[in-house]
Each structure stands twice: as structure tokens, then as C-alpha cells.
Amino acid sequence: MKESSDFGLIMALRKLKRTCKALKLCFLVATIVLSIFWIVVVATLLMGWLNGGAGAINAVLYAVLYGAFVVLILWNLTKLFDGVGREDAPFSSSQADRLQTIAVIALAVVILDFLISIGFIFEPAPEIGFGMVANNGVAEPTLNINIGMLAFSAIMYSLSAIFRYAALLQQLSDETV
């Protein structure tokens, strides 16, 4: 009976390892593709700004920062699944640090969106998603708060705290045995 449960556990661990390697590969490909796309977009916006687009510096700055944040999130997700795929301890302080880094970067995206929307209140820029809302014929400025990314940041931070706690419990368990 014990041998069959051990065999089932070994098979489940192998399947988990394959899944983590596949997820790592997916996130790595997404990181590379997004990085190439990001470089092209930034180069295009930079050329437009250098060719006399006075207001385009805001778009360049936004594209550089937002793209960098997204690439960093994807890279950290790649490293997260890489660690599990290499059979590192899943509940470790390094994994908790990666999750906390993702949370901080996601919060930076929320703050960037908010600050950019403040900067565009009197200067609508529909090409990057900021504009004015007409209410009964009167234009009112809007502030964008990315609630989805804010929730993602909170979830990642909570997971980092849980992983850190689990790592401490694992260390305590290892010392007890």
C-alpha cells in the first residue's frame, strides 16, 4: 500500500516538474516576444519625438516605463517556475522574494498609470488610452486607477508572505527532524 502511494507521489512530482518547465518556457517566450515588441514601439515613439513631436516625450516615457515593468514581471515569473522545475524548494525565501518583487512592480504599474493619467488630465492622449469623458456636454477629466493590477499586486504580496512563512515552517521542520 505504501509503495503505491509513493509511486503516485513520484509520478505527481514528475508531472509537476514537467508542467513548471512548460510554464517557464511559455513565460520565457512571452518575455522575449514582448521585449522585441517593446523595443520596436519605443524606437518608433522615439523617432516620432525626435522628428519634432513636442508632446511625444510623454508617450515615450510611458512606453519605456510600462514596458520595462511588464518585462520584469514576466522575467520574475520565468525565474519562479524555473526554480520549481529544477526541484528547488518551492517554499523558499528566494521564491518569496520573487513574488514580492512581482508585487512591487505591479504596484509600480498602478502608480505609473495613475501619475500618467494625472499628467494627461488637461492634455488628452487617446493614442495611449487616456482621454476626456463628455458628461452632459461638459468635458470632465478622468483619473485611471488600474484596479485589476492593484488586486494582482495585493495577491502576489500575500503569496510572498505565505511562501516566506512556509519556508520558515519548513526550516523549523527540518531542524526538528
CB-CB neighbours of 28 under 10 Å: 17
- Calculate the alpha carbon distances from 170 to 34, 81, 159, 163 in Å: 37, 20, 16, 10
The percentage of the chain sitting over the pLDDT mark of 70, rounded to a whole number, equals 81
Give residue 32's pLDDT: 96
- From the CA atom positions of the chain, what is the Rg in Å? 22
Where does the chain show beta strands of DSSP type E? 132-135, 138-141
Residue spans of the domains in the chain: they are: 2-176
User: What length does the chain have?
Assistant: 177
Whole-model pTM: value is 0.79
Strand 132-135 to strand 138-141: parallel, antiparallel, or no bridges (unpaired)? antiparallel
Give residue 54's pLDDT: 63
Tens of pLDDT, residues 58-95: 778 888 999 999 999 999 999 999 988 787 787 888 99
